[in-house]
Structure 1
Amino acid sequence: MHHLRKLSGCYYDQCHAVVGPFSWVSRDPSLRATVSPCPHCGEIFMKPQSLDTHQALTHAVSELGPEDTSRNIVEIIFHSSWLKKHAQPPVCRIDKVLKIHNTSKTTAKFEDYRETIKTKANKLPKMYPRCIADGNELLRIIRDGFAPDSLGRITTTASSGRADETVRRMSSYGELRAMLVCRVIAGRVKKSCEHDCQEECDSVVSSRSSVGACSNLDELLLVFNPSAILPCFVVIYSG
């Protein structure tokens, strides 16, 4: 009988840990520094890797409503580069804005890359003052995902209008399309790249000509390292 009581007490503690995770964490101070609670749903994980997997599968994105300040800012950024933004009907219509919840591992890689750029720039502080300050961070648009080209470069644009030009040629009017709004560590930028210059620069400005309505507004920035890009929002639109 005494043996059964010991077993029941053991199972009680385990069940209590599942039902009320925060209570057993608070009773054992040694666990507070090791557990990883999900900031979105409160579920407790014993390993940071498990939390990252959970967030990637369950909380990868969330839709922003019309009343959300972040959505309003993204919409302003998205529409600002369209030359025909006052046209009737509008050139494009935003259907949804999704906020991307990056894992701690992804964010850490992004910040580590920033520190790498700042370290490189410190060797020539007068030439790269912006890199020393924040790694030369920019807000960019990605239309084709993170697949690199034949030279290992990822294409980003400064405006949604420029990014849409290529997509529009491959889709029908009214069809839903999507773009990523990202933070990008541009680092040391070169104006052209006729040969491999990754040792001398971190990204390259390409002035490839375009005949679209927004082609005169900006140039393409080609980034070498995927860790330089932190996706923040997905804009789903039609037009």
Structure 2
Amino acid sequence: MRFVIGLLALVLFGVGPALAEDATAHRFTAAGSPMDYYVSLPAGWTPERTWPVIVALPDATREFTTVMDAFIAARRSKPWIIVVPVVLGSGGVPWRFADVFGYKPDVFEKAEKDGVCKFDHEGLAAVLQDVRKRFKAEGRAFITGYEAAGHVIWREVIHNPAAYYGAALVFPNFAGRCVDETQIKTKTTTPLSIEILRGGDDKVGVPGSPIDLQIKSAVDYVRGIGHKVEDVTVPGKVRGPFAEEVFDFMEKVRAGK
């Protein structure tokens, strides 16, 4: 897939239809934030209505464009805006892998000064606001990711549930990163539908394994504060974005099933 840098000078009514027509993903910087994101609009996009949006995060490899490819392929004719924010927290220390992010040194300097948690949390909020303003996304999003993306997603679920309709996590890590301990003792006022996806052919995340224990710990926390969690095993799968299954889950949530 060809990725191009979006020009901030383009206005909504000019850039939107062009993005929907060329079937590629474009990179933008969120207004008021140094965080970048890739976006792909569905066929037939128009500024005359609002559109459902999915935020998809990668694992520790930080292969942002690979994740975008997977969700574009699975979207087909579905009316979803796909957004892949260039977060820093889905894996190890980001400055060790600086080349994969595409950020200039000053962005890393700010993130190191302020902290990765602050960078990602504020950046995601700015990305969602930017996508709402620029591409007519709905007021709330769905969020998904696999493995190390769990570090970012669990924090969003616990601290910022009002921004989302639901979350789908594939073999998600959880180490309590960026989580305020007082928050996991407070009942949420915005309960989310959350789906844990496991590959039926995976030989690592078996019951009692480290990743299984991390998942159970996170699920206990979020159930304890009022979120609804379903744990699903997908036959024939190992790991990865599980884009088809994620879309199925999110469309069921949107339909109120």
TM range (shorter): under 0.3
Between Structure 1 and Structure 2, whose CA radius of gyration is higher? Answer: 1
Q: Report which of the two has the higher share of helix.
A: 2
Instruction: Say which structure, 1 or 2, has more relative contact order (CA 8 Å, 6+ apart).
Output: 1
